Structure 1
Protein backbone atom coordinates (compact mmCIF):
# COMPACT_ATOMS: atom_id res chain seq x y z
CA UNK A 1 0.00 0.00 0.00
CA UNK A 2 1.20 3.50 -0.82
CA UNK A 3 2.22 5.93 1.88
CA UNK A 4 -0.54 8.48 2.44
CA UNK A 5 -0.24 11.89 4.05
CA UNK A 6 -3.40 13.75 4.99
CA UNK A 7 -2.44 17.40 5.16
CA UNK A 8 -2.01 20.73 3.43
CA UNK A 9 0.80 22.59 1.73
CA UNK A 10 -0.21 25.53 3.93
CA UNK A 11 0.74 23.54 7.03
CA UNK A 12 4.38 23.68 8.16
CA UNK A 13 3.82 20.43 10.05
CA UNK A 14 2.70 18.72 6.84
CA UNK A 15 5.68 20.17 4.98
CA UNK A 16 7.99 18.71 7.63
CA UNK A 17 6.73 15.21 6.79
CA UNK A 18 6.86 15.79 3.03
CA UNK A 19 10.47 16.93 3.32
CA UNK A 20 11.33 13.78 5.24
CA UNK A 21 9.68 11.56 2.64
CA UNK A 22 11.47 13.43 -0.14
CA UNK A 23 14.86 13.09 1.58
CA UNK A 24 14.16 9.36 1.66
CA UNK A 25 13.16 9.25 -2.04
CA UNK A 26 9.86 7.60 -1.09
CA UNK A 27 6.70 7.70 -3.16
CA UNK A 28 3.66 9.01 -1.36
CA UNK A 29 0.19 10.38 -1.91
CA UNK A 30 -0.72 13.75 -0.43
CA UNK A 31 -4.42 13.90 0.33
CA UNK A 32 -5.30 17.57 0.67
CA UNK A 33 -7.26 18.62 3.74
CA UNK A 34 -9.17 21.88 3.34
CA UNK A 35 -8.29 23.78 6.50
CA UNK A 36 -10.39 26.83 5.65
CA UNK A 37 -13.47 24.62 5.41
CA UNK A 38 -12.68 22.96 8.75
CA UNK A 39 -12.17 19.57 7.14
CA UNK A 40 -9.54 18.67 9.78
CA UNK A 41 -12.38 18.57 12.33
CA UNK A 42 -14.49 16.19 10.27
CA UNK A 43 -14.94 12.51 11.28
CA UNK A 44 -12.69 11.05 8.57
CA UNK A 45 -9.74 13.14 9.83
CA UNK A 46 -10.60 12.77 13.52
CA UNK A 47 -10.48 9.01 12.96
CA UNK A 48 -6.84 9.43 11.91
CA UNK A 49 -5.89 12.20 14.34
CA UNK A 50 -8.18 12.50 17.37
CA UNK A 51 -6.90 16.01 18.06
CA UNK A 52 -8.29 17.23 14.74
CA UNK A 53 -4.95 18.41 13.42
CA UNK A 54 -2.78 17.65 10.42
CA UNK A 55 -0.88 15.81 9.21
CA UNK A 56 -2.13 12.28 9.60
CA UNK A 57 -0.08 9.48 8.11
CA UNK A 58 -0.63 5.95 6.82
CA UNK A 59 1.96 3.41 5.75
CA UNK A 60 0.20 0.10 5.29
CA UNK A 61 -1.14 -0.84 8.72
CA UNK A 62 0.85 1.91 10.45
CA UNK A 63 -1.22 4.99 11.30
CA UNK A 64 0.42 7.98 12.96
CA UNK A 65 -0.05 11.64 13.72
CA UNK A 66 2.28 14.44 14.96
CA UNK A 67 4.81 15.46 12.37
CA UNK A 68 7.97 14.78 14.38
CA UNK A 69 6.80 11.31 15.40
CA UNK A 70 5.93 10.58 11.76
CA UNK A 71 9.33 11.83 10.60
CA UNK A 72 11.18 9.69 13.15
CA UNK A 73 9.22 6.67 12.01
CA UNK A 74 10.12 7.37 8.37
CA UNK A 75 13.78 7.93 9.22
CA UNK A 76 14.02 4.65 11.17
CA UNK A 77 11.74 2.49 9.03
CA UNK A 78 13.47 3.49 5.80
CA UNK A 79 16.96 3.97 7.20
CA UNK A 80 18.51 2.25 4.17
CA UNK A 81 16.87 4.62 1.66
CA UNK A 82 17.82 8.13 0.61
CA UNK A 83 19.43 10.43 3.14
CA UNK A 84 20.34 9.00 6.54
CA UNK A 85 18.49 11.32 8.92
CA UNK A 86 19.23 9.65 12.26
CA UNK A 87 22.78 8.82 13.29
CA UNK A 88 23.38 5.22 14.32
CA UNK A 89 26.18 6.23 16.69
CA UNK A 90 24.54 6.67 20.14
CA UNK A 91 26.66 9.69 21.11
CA UNK A 92 26.08 11.51 17.83
CA UNK A 93 22.39 10.57 17.87
CA UNK A 94 22.09 12.09 21.36
CA UNK A 95 23.53 15.40 20.11
CA UNK A 96 21.11 15.41 17.18
CA UNK A 97 18.30 14.75 19.62
CA UNK A 98 19.25 17.80 21.69
CA UNK A 99 18.82 20.04 18.69
CA UNK A 100 15.60 18.60 17.32
CA UNK A 101 13.80 17.88 20.57
CA UNK A 102 15.01 20.70 22.78
CA UNK A 103 16.28 23.51 20.58
CA UNK A 104 13.84 23.16 17.70
CA UNK A 105 10.58 21.92 19.21
CA UNK A 106 10.83 23.65 22.61
CA UNK A 107 12.71 26.86 21.82
CA UNK A 108 12.86 27.66 18.11
CA UNK A 109 9.44 26.49 16.94
CA UNK A 110 7.27 28.26 19.58
CA UNK A 111 8.90 31.57 18.63
CA UNK A 112 8.46 30.93 14.93
CA UNK A 113 4.81 29.98 15.34
CA UNK A 114 4.09 33.37 16.90
CA UNK A 115 6.08 35.21 14.25
CA UNK A 116 4.36 33.28 11.47
CA UNK A 117 0.97 34.23 12.89
CA UNK A 118 1.81 37.92 13.20
CA UNK A 119 3.77 38.34 9.97
CA UNK A 120 2.10 35.85 7.62
CA UNK A 121 -1.18 34.30 8.73
CA UNK A 122 -2.90 37.49 9.89
CA UNK A 123 -2.22 39.07 6.51
CA UNK A 124 -3.15 35.98 4.50
CA UNK A 125 -6.32 35.11 6.42
CA UNK A 126 -7.66 38.46 7.57
CA UNK A 127 -5.74 41.14 5.66
CA UNK A 128 -4.45 42.48 8.96
CA UNK A 129 -1.04 43.79 9.93
CA UNK A 130 0.87 41.94 12.64
CA UNK A 131 1.30 43.34 16.13
CA UNK A 132 4.68 45.09 16.08
CA UNK A 133 5.14 44.78 19.85
CA UNK A 134 4.74 41.01 19.69
CA UNK A 135 6.99 40.78 16.63
CA UNK A 136 9.78 42.72 18.33
CA UNK A 137 9.54 40.63 21.49
CA UNK A 138 9.64 37.35 19.56
CA UNK A 139 12.45 38.63 17.34
CA UNK A 140 14.60 39.19 20.44
CA UNK A 141 13.84 35.69 21.66
CA UNK A 142 14.76 34.33 18.23
CA UNK A 143 18.04 36.25 18.27
CA UNK A 144 18.99 34.55 21.54
CA UNK A 145 18.31 31.11 20.07
CA UNK A 146 20.20 31.91 16.87
CA UNK A 147 23.17 33.13 18.89
CA UNK A 148 23.42 29.61 20.29
CA UNK A 149 23.10 28.19 16.78
CA UNK A 150 25.79 30.57 15.52
CA UNK A 151 28.25 29.19 18.06
CA UNK A 152 27.24 25.61 17.36
CA UNK A 153 27.62 26.06 13.60
CA UNK A 154 31.05 27.64 13.91
CA UNK A 155 32.67 24.19 14.09
CA UNK A 156 29.83 22.08 12.67
CA UNK A 157 28.24 22.22 9.23
CA UNK A 158 24.90 21.09 10.64
CA UNK A 159 23.25 21.29 14.05
CA UNK A 160 23.78 17.60 14.73
CA UNK A 161 27.36 17.55 13.46
CA UNK A 162 28.87 16.91 10.04
CA UNK A 163 25.78 15.49 8.34
CA UNK A 164 22.26 16.72 7.63
CA UNK A 165 19.72 15.15 10.00
CA UNK A 166 16.22 15.55 11.41
CA UNK A 167 17.68 18.25 13.65
CA UNK A 168 18.10 20.43 10.56
CA UNK A 169 15.10 19.20 8.58
CA UNK A 170 12.63 20.14 11.31
CA UNK A 171 13.68 23.80 10.98
CA UNK A 172 13.14 24.06 7.24
CA UNK A 173 9.38 24.81 6.90
CA UNK A 174 9.37 27.71 9.36
CA UNK A 175 12.63 29.16 8.05
CA UNK A 176 11.30 28.97 4.50
CA UNK A 177 8.17 30.83 5.57
CA UNK A 178 10.23 33.58 7.22
CA UNK A 179 12.34 34.23 4.13
CA UNK A 180 9.62 36.53 2.76
CA UNK A 181 9.50 38.62 5.94
CA UNK A 182 11.70 41.01 7.87
CA UNK A 183 12.90 38.07 9.96
CA UNK A 184 15.15 36.99 7.10
CA UNK A 185 17.63 39.65 8.23
CA UNK A 186 17.92 38.02 11.65
CA UNK A 187 19.25 34.88 9.98
CA UNK A 188 21.42 36.76 7.49
CA UNK A 189 23.16 38.78 10.21
CA UNK A 190 24.80 35.64 11.59
CA UNK A 191 27.35 34.25 9.07
CA UNK A 192 27.32 30.64 10.26
CA UNK A 193 23.55 30.54 10.58
CA UNK A 194 23.19 32.18 7.17
CA UNK A 195 25.45 29.59 5.51
CA UNK A 196 23.47 26.80 7.20
CA UNK A 197 20.16 28.28 6.01
CA UNK A 198 21.42 28.60 2.44
CA UNK A 199 22.54 24.98 2.55
CA UNK A 200 19.40 23.39 3.95
CA UNK A 201 17.04 25.42 1.75
CA UNK A 202 18.96 24.46 -1.38
CA UNK A 203 18.71 20.71 -0.81
CA UNK A 204 17.04 18.76 -3.66
CA UNK A 205 14.29 17.54 -1.33
CA UNK A 206 13.50 21.11 -0.34
CA UNK A 207 13.36 22.25 -3.95
CA UNK A 208 11.15 19.27 -4.78
CA UNK A 209 8.64 20.02 -2.02
CA UNK A 210 8.50 23.78 -2.49
CA UNK A 211 8.93 23.73 -6.25
CA UNK A 212 11.17 26.78 -6.50
CA UNK A 213 14.39 28.02 -4.89
CA UNK A 214 13.53 29.48 -1.50
CA UNK A 215 16.58 31.59 -0.62
Structure 2
Protein backbone atom coordinates (compact mmCIF):
# COMPACT_ATOMS: atom_id res chain seq x y z
CA UNK A 1 0.00 0.00 0.00
CA UNK A 2 1.25 3.48 -0.85
CA UNK A 3 2.27 5.65 2.09
CA UNK A 4 -0.11 8.26 3.39
CA UNK A 5 0.47 11.80 2.13
CA UNK A 6 0.36 14.78 4.46
CA UNK A 7 0.05 18.22 2.85
CA UNK A 8 1.07 21.44 4.57
CA UNK A 9 3.95 23.38 6.09
CA UNK A 10 5.84 21.89 9.01
CA UNK A 11 5.95 25.08 11.12
CA UNK A 12 2.17 25.02 11.50
CA UNK A 13 1.04 23.95 14.97
CA UNK A 14 -1.85 22.06 13.37
CA UNK A 15 0.59 20.15 11.17
CA UNK A 16 2.71 19.42 14.24
CA UNK A 17 -0.25 17.74 15.95
CA UNK A 18 -0.54 15.28 13.07
CA UNK A 19 3.19 14.82 12.55
CA UNK A 20 3.77 13.85 16.18
CA UNK A 21 1.03 11.22 15.94
CA UNK A 22 2.43 9.89 12.66
CA UNK A 23 5.86 9.57 14.26
CA UNK A 24 4.43 7.93 17.39
CA UNK A 25 2.46 5.46 15.29
CA UNK A 26 5.40 4.39 13.15
CA UNK A 27 3.19 4.67 10.08
CA UNK A 28 4.78 5.23 6.70
CA UNK A 29 3.97 8.66 5.31
CA UNK A 30 5.14 11.25 2.82
CA UNK A 31 5.26 14.92 3.76
CA UNK A 32 4.21 17.06 0.80
CA UNK A 33 5.54 20.58 1.50
CA UNK A 34 3.36 23.54 0.57
CA UNK A 35 4.02 27.27 0.53
CA UNK A 36 1.65 29.52 2.42
CA UNK A 37 3.32 32.62 1.00
CA UNK A 38 3.01 31.10 -2.46
CA UNK A 39 -0.71 30.57 -1.94
CA UNK A 40 -0.57 26.81 -2.45
CA UNK A 41 -3.48 26.34 -0.05
CA UNK A 42 -5.71 28.44 -2.32
CA UNK A 43 -4.95 26.57 -5.52
CA UNK A 44 -7.71 24.48 -7.13
CA UNK A 45 -5.90 21.21 -6.53
CA UNK A 46 -5.72 21.88 -2.80
CA UNK A 47 -9.27 23.22 -2.57
CA UNK A 48 -10.31 19.88 -4.06
CA UNK A 49 -8.70 18.24 -1.01
CA UNK A 50 -10.03 20.76 1.51
CA UNK A 51 -12.70 23.23 0.36
CA UNK A 52 -11.79 25.50 3.28
CA UNK A 53 -8.29 25.99 1.89
CA UNK A 54 -6.57 24.99 5.12
CA UNK A 55 -3.86 22.59 6.18
CA UNK A 56 -3.12 19.89 7.14
CA UNK A 57 -4.71 17.47 4.70
CA UNK A 58 -4.08 13.73 4.77
CA UNK A 59 -4.57 11.36 1.85
CA UNK A 60 -4.77 7.71 2.86
CA UNK A 61 -5.60 5.74 -0.26
CA UNK A 62 -9.02 6.90 -1.43
CA UNK A 63 -9.69 8.69 1.86
CA UNK A 64 -8.98 12.41 2.15
CA UNK A 65 -9.17 14.04 5.58
CA UNK A 66 -8.79 17.53 6.99
CA UNK A 67 -8.93 19.01 10.52
CA UNK A 68 -5.85 18.14 12.55
CA UNK A 69 -7.52 16.29 15.41
CA UNK A 70 -9.63 14.19 13.03
CA UNK A 71 -6.53 13.29 11.02
CA UNK A 72 -4.56 12.43 14.15
CA UNK A 73 -7.35 10.22 15.47
CA UNK A 74 -7.55 8.38 12.14
CA UNK A 75 -3.81 7.75 12.10
CA UNK A 76 -3.81 6.46 15.67
CA UNK A 77 -7.00 4.44 15.29
CA UNK A 78 -5.41 2.67 12.32
CA UNK A 79 -1.80 2.35 13.44
CA UNK A 80 -1.56 2.80 17.23
CA UNK A 81 -5.00 2.64 18.87
CA UNK A 82 -3.54 2.29 22.36
CA UNK A 83 -2.74 6.02 22.23
CA UNK A 84 -6.50 6.61 22.06
CA UNK A 85 -7.01 4.50 25.16
CA UNK A 86 -8.12 1.48 23.15
CA UNK A 87 -5.87 -0.89 25.08
CA UNK A 88 -7.52 0.02 28.37
CA UNK A 89 -11.03 0.56 29.63
CA UNK A 90 -13.88 2.53 28.14
CA UNK A 91 -13.29 5.02 30.92
CA UNK A 92 -9.71 5.59 29.77
CA UNK A 93 -10.84 6.12 26.18
CA UNK A 94 -13.45 8.58 27.39
CA UNK A 95 -10.87 10.52 29.39
CA UNK A 96 -8.62 10.75 26.34
CA UNK A 97 -11.52 12.41 24.55
CA UNK A 98 -12.14 14.73 27.49
CA UNK A 99 -8.60 16.09 27.56
CA UNK A 100 -8.39 16.41 23.79
CA UNK A 101 -11.48 18.61 24.04
CA UNK A 102 -10.07 20.52 27.00
CA UNK A 103 -7.05 21.37 24.88
CA UNK A 104 -9.27 22.45 21.99
CA UNK A 105 -11.73 24.55 23.99
CA UNK A 106 -9.85 25.71 27.09
CA UNK A 107 -6.10 25.79 26.54
CA UNK A 108 -5.54 26.47 22.84
CA UNK A 109 -7.89 29.50 22.75
CA UNK A 110 -5.86 31.25 25.44
CA UNK A 111 -2.48 30.25 24.00
CA UNK A 112 -3.23 31.48 20.48
CA UNK A 113 -3.49 35.22 21.27
CA UNK A 114 -0.25 35.05 23.24
CA UNK A 115 1.61 33.24 20.45
CA UNK A 116 0.25 35.46 17.66
CA UNK A 117 0.97 38.70 19.51
CA UNK A 118 4.34 37.78 20.98
CA UNK A 119 5.85 35.96 18.00
CA UNK A 120 4.06 36.66 14.74
CA UNK A 121 2.78 40.24 15.01
CA UNK A 122 6.21 41.86 15.57
CA UNK A 123 7.56 40.17 12.44
CA UNK A 124 4.65 41.06 10.16
CA UNK A 125 4.33 44.65 11.30
CA UNK A 126 1.11 44.31 13.26
CA UNK A 127 0.56 46.03 16.58
CA UNK A 128 0.90 43.89 19.68
CA UNK A 129 -2.36 43.89 21.62
CA UNK A 130 -0.82 43.87 25.08
CA UNK A 131 -4.20 44.06 26.76
CA UNK A 132 -5.27 40.86 25.01
CA UNK A 133 -2.00 39.17 25.92
CA UNK A 134 -2.36 40.13 29.58
CA UNK A 135 -5.96 38.94 29.69
CA UNK A 136 -4.99 35.67 27.99
CA UNK A 137 -2.18 35.05 30.48
CA UNK A 138 -4.63 35.64 33.31
CA UNK A 139 -7.04 33.10 31.80
CA UNK A 140 -4.18 30.70 31.16
CA UNK A 141 -3.27 30.64 34.84
CA UNK A 142 -6.82 29.55 35.70
CA UNK A 143 -6.65 26.77 33.11
CA UNK A 144 -3.25 25.63 34.34
CA UNK A 145 -4.63 25.29 37.86
CA UNK A 146 -6.93 22.57 36.53
CA UNK A 147 -4.04 20.84 34.75
CA UNK A 148 -1.88 21.05 37.86
CA UNK A 149 -4.57 19.39 39.95
CA UNK A 150 -4.99 16.61 37.40
CA UNK A 151 -1.27 16.01 36.92
CA UNK A 152 -0.63 15.90 40.66
CA UNK A 153 -2.13 12.40 40.68
CA UNK A 154 -0.61 10.93 37.50
CA UNK A 155 2.35 11.52 35.18
CA UNK A 156 0.13 12.10 32.15
CA UNK A 157 -3.38 13.43 31.70
CA UNK A 158 -5.21 10.11 31.58
CA UNK A 159 -2.88 8.06 33.76
CA UNK A 160 0.74 6.97 33.98
CA UNK A 161 0.90 6.37 30.23
CA UNK A 162 1.17 8.81 27.35
CA UNK A 163 -1.84 9.15 25.07
CA UNK A 164 -3.25 11.39 22.37
CA UNK A 165 -4.62 13.49 25.21
CA UNK A 166 -1.03 14.55 25.93
CA UNK A 167 0.38 14.60 22.41
CA UNK A 168 -2.30 16.94 21.08
CA UNK A 169 -1.06 19.66 23.45
CA UNK A 170 2.42 19.81 21.95
CA UNK A 171 1.53 21.92 18.92
CA UNK A 172 0.64 25.24 20.55
CA UNK A 173 2.57 24.66 23.77
CA UNK A 174 5.74 24.47 21.67
CA UNK A 175 5.31 28.07 20.51
CA UNK A 176 3.94 29.38 23.79
CA UNK A 177 7.06 28.09 25.51
CA UNK A 178 9.14 30.22 23.12
CA UNK A 179 7.52 33.41 24.44
CA UNK A 180 8.49 35.49 27.46
CA UNK A 181 5.41 34.14 29.24
CA UNK A 182 6.77 30.58 29.41
CA UNK A 183 7.88 31.36 32.98
CA UNK A 184 4.23 31.01 33.97
CA UNK A 185 4.79 27.24 34.07
CA UNK A 186 7.23 27.62 36.96
CA UNK A 187 4.26 28.04 39.29
CA UNK A 188 2.83 24.68 38.20
CA UNK A 189 5.52 22.03 38.87
CA UNK A 190 3.44 19.04 37.79
CA UNK A 191 2.52 20.73 34.51
CA UNK A 192 6.15 21.62 33.93
CA UNK A 193 7.27 18.04 34.58
CA UNK A 194 4.59 16.77 32.20
CA UNK A 195 5.76 19.18 29.51
CA UNK A 196 9.38 18.15 29.97
CA UNK A 197 8.38 14.49 29.66
CA UNK A 198 6.69 15.27 26.35
CA UNK A 199 9.78 17.12 25.10
CA UNK A 200 11.90 14.04 25.82
CA UNK A 201 9.93 11.87 23.41
CA UNK A 202 11.76 11.09 20.12
CA UNK A 203 8.64 11.91 18.09
CA UNK A 204 8.39 15.36 19.64
CA UNK A 205 12.11 16.04 19.21
CA UNK A 206 11.92 15.14 15.52
CA UNK A 207 8.87 17.30 14.80
CA UNK A 208 10.15 20.18 16.91
CA UNK A 209 13.32 20.31 14.79
CA UNK A 210 11.15 21.58 11.94
CA UNK A 211 9.43 24.22 14.07
CA UNK A 212 11.73 27.21 14.64
CA UNK A 213 10.53 29.19 17.67
CA UNK A 214 9.91 32.28 15.53
CA UNK A 215 7.92 30.33 12.90
CA UNK A 216 10.88 30.91 10.56
CA UNK A 217 10.41 34.68 10.34
CA UNK A 218 13.82 35.53 11.75
CA UNK A 219 15.71 33.07 9.56
CA UNK A 220 13.73 33.65 6.38
CA UNK A 221 12.49 30.05 6.48
CA UNK A 222 8.83 31.03 6.21
CA UNK A 223 7.04 28.45 4.05
Please indicate the TM-score interval, normalised by the length of the shorter structure: over 0.9
Gaps of 5+ in 1: none
Q: Residues 109, 191 of structure 1: CA spacing in aligned structure 2 closer, same or farther, 3 A cutoff?
A: same
Q: Give me the whole-angstrom Cα distance separating, in 2, the residues matched to 1:127 and 1:188.
A: 31
**Does the 8 A contact of 1:119 with 1:129 survive in 2?**
no
For residue 110 of structure 1, report the CA deviation from its aligned partner: 1.1
For residue 188 of structure 1, report the CA deviation from its aligned partner: 2.3
For residue 16 of structure 1, report the CA deviation from its aligned partner: 0.6
**Does the 8 A contact of 1:96 with 1:161 survive in 2?**
no
Aligned with 1:6: secondary structure? strand
Quote the residue 2:93 is aligned against: 93
Gaps of 5+ in 2: 213-223
Q: Give me the whole-angstrom Cα distance separating, in 1, the residues matched to 2:199 and 2:181.
A: 16
Point out 4+ residue stretches in structure 1 off by more than 3 angstroms.
none
CA offsets, 1:16-57, max 9 Å, x none? 100000011122111111112222111111111111100010
1:62 counterpart = 2:60: no
Quote the residue 1:119 is aligned against: 118
Give the count of matched residue pairs. Answer: 210
Quote the residue 2:24 is aligned against: 23
**Does the 8 A contact of 1:207 with 1:213 survive in 2?**
no
Aligned with 1:13: secondary structure? helix
For residue 128 of structure 1, report the CA deviation from its aligned partner: 4.4
**Does the 8 A contact of 1:118 with 1:130 survive in 2?**
yes
Larger RCO (CA under 8 A, 6+ residues apart): 2
Quote the residue 1:2 is aligned against: 3
CA offsets, 1:107-148, max 9 Å, x none? 111111211111111123x14452211110000111111000
* Pairwise CA RMSD: 1.9
Q: Give me the whole-angstrom Cα distance separating, in 2, the residues matched to 1:54 and 1:123.
A: 24
Quote the residue 1:50 is aligned against: 51
Q: Give me the whole-angstrom Cα distance separating, in 1, the residues matched to 2:90 and 2:72.
A: 19
**Does the 8 A contact of 2:10 with 2:211 survive in 1?**
no
Quote the residue 2:221 is aligned against: none
Quote the residue 1:197 is aligned against: 195
